[in-house]
Amino acid sequence: MQPTIREIYVARRRLSGVARRTPLERSGWLSAVAGCDVYLKLECWQRTRSFKVRGAYNAVASLGAEARAAGLVAASAGNHGQGVALAAAELGAKATIFVPASAPATKQSRIRALGAELRTVDGIYDDAEAAALAYAEEVGACFVHPFANPLVVAGQGTVGLEIVEDLPTLRSVVVPVGGGGLIAGIGTAVKATAGSVRVLGIQSDQTRAMHAAFEAGRPVDVPPGETLADGLAGGVDASSYERARAVTDEIGLVDEAAIAEAIRELYRREGVVAEGAGAVVVAAVLKGTFELEGPAVLVVSGGNIDAARLAGILGD
């Protein structure tokens, strides 16, 4: 089910005092590259350094006290896990988070720091999800899906409300795409409140499951490759594909070299630390993936990157 604009406004009220209203800042450098006004929506400065807290908290806060008392379970590449862990801490619930063993160390340590139990699983995100679902069924806990839950999508849509309020003349928005929850939420919000806005999705060519689904007209099995954009890795189910398809005008791909360049240049030119999944939007501008109509907004979705990896990229 596609969340309605009303449900996104309800989510914003629920998130009051929990999620930050993140800055929207014009980038002179990217505006010159794109040939139009380009703004950065800095969700990398959100609590837990990722937009994921919006959807996770909205979903958890919507549960009844009995459901929360049974415990929360999530599968995550790292950022959704932090969001669920924070929601659990705020609302007095126990959370168990399953992540791939390859998830960045900074994401794993922050999940633990928020008080959740962390379990690592060999393999990719899909393996972590399978383990999490089995565990939730075994113990009777509530599984909080990172992108297929309409309440999660509604929470992510609050990013779109803030963008339109801060930039009413918005003409296009570029959004990172993994499972599709962020673009479904933002697309619903901006198209309902700002009229004719182009919603553009971007993935790494190593995390192209949604791109492949758009080409095929249905979800297809595309295992992720090794990527800087670990937050975008994972499969796409029918519901998340349909939600994203309903509000997305175009979806593109960038390669790993472009993502590394985007991380490096964001830091050097703007002082912004972005993880690969957040930097893909900047990579799309640097590589001319889309013909942008301005004003345009790039959603820098997260900033959880291991220090050693960032240092290596900056030193290249």
The domain ranges of the chain are 5-51+149-315, 53-143
The string of pLDDT tens digits covering residues 222-253 is 888 889 999 998 778 899 999 999 999 999 99
CA distance 162 to 167: 8
Identical fold at 5-51+149-315 and 53-143? yes
Stretch 281-297: mean pLDDT, rounded? 96
Q: Under CATH, to which class is 5-51+149-315 assigned?
A: alpha beta
The string of pLDDT tens digits covering residues 66-100 is 999 999 999 998 899 999 999 999 999 999 999 99
Per the listing, tokens 């406004």 go with: 9
pLDDT for 223: 86
Residue 316: pLDDT band (50, 70, 90) is low
Stretch 257-270: mean pLDDT, rounded? 97
pLDDT for 245: 96
**CATH architecture type of domain 53-143:** 3-Layer(aba) Sandwich (3.40)
Burial 229-256 (b: 16+ CB within 10 A, else e): bbbbbbbbeebbbbbbbebbeebbbbeb
pLDDT for 202: 98
